[in-house]
């Protein structure tokens, strides 16, 4: 059994305005979507529903139990466009170079920064993103919780930029997703 990551079993999905998220992230056309550190896959399931006829969702997590739950739920919902796998995204994402249209990191980057594995994960994301690909980062607002992690661990939009800019990312937009979360969208320069 794989080790349980920092926030395994927790999800920010119920804390976001999903309609605002969808309006910010263009899911039209044939989409290859990557959900990094997907947990039990709440985001992956909803995205797969949105792109059922035209796209594929790759959902990856280090937490074996979460991936098992995601596979069972996707199967019970008849979502055949989800490919869920156990892997350490900080070492290797099991996808081809430049094969992903949209990569989602939903309230996970702060955990990767906290445990020092964000550099490897972000380099892998750069490798798998298409040149015109989009990195969508959902994070908790820099304020006291709960819900969410302690304030000292949270990443502000400015801190996100400091982390992502050296890797060639440019911020396209930041949107409020509710009282405790926000979304920042990045493109590679």
pLDDT tens sequence across 38-94: 999 999 999 999 999 899 999 999 999 999 999 999 999 999 999 999 999 999 999
List domains and CATH numbers for the chain: 30-87 (3.40.50.150), 99-189 (3.40.50.150)
pLDDT tens sequence across 109-125: 999 999 999 999 999 99
pLDDT reading at 186 higher than 50 = yes
What is the reported pTM? 0.94
Q: Are 52 and 79 in contact (CB under 8 A)?
A: yes
Provide the 3-class DSSP secondary structure of residue 84: strand
Rounded to an integer, what distance in angstroms lies between the CA atom of residue 178 and that of residue 153?
Answer: 19
């Amino acid at each position: 059994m794989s080790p349980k990551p920092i926030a395994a079993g927790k999800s920010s999905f119920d804390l976001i305005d999903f309609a605002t998220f969808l309006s910010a992230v263009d899911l039209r056309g044939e989409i290859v979507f990557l959900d990094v550190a997907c947990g039990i896959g709440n985001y992956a399931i909803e995205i797969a529903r949105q792109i059922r006829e035209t796209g594929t969702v790759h959902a990856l997590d280090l937490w074996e139990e979460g991936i098992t739950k995601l596979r069972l739920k996707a199967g019970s919902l008849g979502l055949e466009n989800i490919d869920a796998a156990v892997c350490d995204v900080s070492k290797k994402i099991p996808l081809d170079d430049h094969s992903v249209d949209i990569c989602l990191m939903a309230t996970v980057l702060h955990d990767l920064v906290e445990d020092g594995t964000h550099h490897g994960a972000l380099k892998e994301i750069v490798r798998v993103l298409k040149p015109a690909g989009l990195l969508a980062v959902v994070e908790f607002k820099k304020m006291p919780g709960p819900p969410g992690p302690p304030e000292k661990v949270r990443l502000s939009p400015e801190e996100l930029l400091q982390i992502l800019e050296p890797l060639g990312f440019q911020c396209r937009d930041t949107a409020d997703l509710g009282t405790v979360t926000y979304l920042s969208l990045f493109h590679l320069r």
